[in-house]
Amino acid sequence: MTSVGRVRSEAGAAWRSFLRRRTAVFFTFFFPVILILIFAVLVQTNPGSGGSGGLFSKPAAYYLPGYLAVVVLFTPLSRVGSSVSRHRESNRFEKLATTPLTRAEWLLAHTLVNVVIIGLAGIIILALMALVTNAGVSFGALPLVAVFIALAVGLFCGLGALLGSFAGSADGVIAASNAIALPLLFLSDTFVTPDLLPSWFQPVMNLSPLTYFARGVRILTYSGGSSGGDLVVLAVLAVAFFLAGAYAIPETD
């Protein structure tokens, strides 16, 4: 079997495993619905304040990258991290080591499944933004937005693999994921605009990989301009984290 065949086979198994977990399927796709209904419909935005009146003072379209960032960040971290941890506990990687499937191929297969899952969740978010808000989102750049999503998913799948490889248990993976994801979500130019943060902290935001995803998507869908620089940085970080995650996955445990 070729490398492509091995990846396809593992991805198919991972996809079927996801579909069998009905609770996970429900909340993966229902969570974006709750998110949009709470923040975009109930809380709403207040662009009349000139964009400097606090949280949600920008037009609704400004926060689309934040909504996408939630699923791009949390879903890969928890799903891949938990999968690696479960495989370690059941000695699955020791069994996989006797097959031609490499660690990079295993991670690539699970990354592709997450790209599909999060892509579908992203479509739900975009559809809800169009239906329940007056957000003037530019949909002409959706193919490039899809590239940003795929790269970000690959990045956080790699980070999830790192967490799953080093955390002591599945509970430890979830705790570590939340400890990393929550600060990143609110300190990466997603929902909290840079002008609301101390001036000394604003350069620190550039250390977050999620910043390049949020800024790049916002440029494409809201502000206009070139997002090439953010795309390049995100691509480099995605490759680095993916390779680190694949290397960290144990062959035996």
Residue with tokens 């009349």: 48
pLDDT of residue 51: 47
Residues 212-245: tens digit of each pLDDT:
999 999 888 887 777 788 999 999 999 999 999 9
Euclidean distance between CA atoms 151 and 156, whole angstroms: 9
Average pLDDT over residues 58-62: 78
pLDDT of residue 114: 94
Euclidean distance between CA atoms 2 and 105, whole angstroms: 11
Q: Is residue 49's pLDDT more than 60?
A: no
pTM (predicted TM-score): 0.86
Burial string for 27-36 (b: 16+ CB within 10 Å, else e) reads: ebeebbeebb
User: Contact at 8 Å (CB) between 152 and 70?
Assistant: no
- Please tell me which residue, 15 or 31, carries the higher pLDDT value: 15
SS (H, E, C) 201-251: CHHHHHHCHHHHHHHHHHHHHHHCCCCHHHHHHHHHHHHHHHHHHHHHCCC
Show the DSSP H helices in the chain as ranges. Answer: 3-20, 22-35, 64-89, 92-96, 103-132, 142-166, 170-186, 209-218, 228-248
Residues 124-170: tens digit of each pLDDT:
888 887 777 766 666 677 888 999 999 999 999 999 999 988 887 77
What's the whole-number average pLDDT of the chain? Answer: 84
Euclidean distance between CA atoms 144 and 123, whole angstroms: 14
Q: Is residue 2's pLDDT more than 50?
A: yes
Q: Is residue 54's pLDDT more than 60?
A: no
Q: Which of 32-41, 91-100, 142-151, 172-181 has the lowest mean pLDDT?
A: 32-41
Residues 76-85: tens digit of each pLDDT:
998 898 888 8
Give percent of the chain with pLDDT exceeding 70: 89
User: Contact at 8 Å (CB) between 218 and 57?
Assistant: no
Euclidean distance between CA atoms 121 and 125, whole angstroms: 6
For the chain, the domains span: 3-44+51-248
Average pLDDT over residues 81-108: 84
Q: Is residue 192's pLDDT more than 90?
A: no
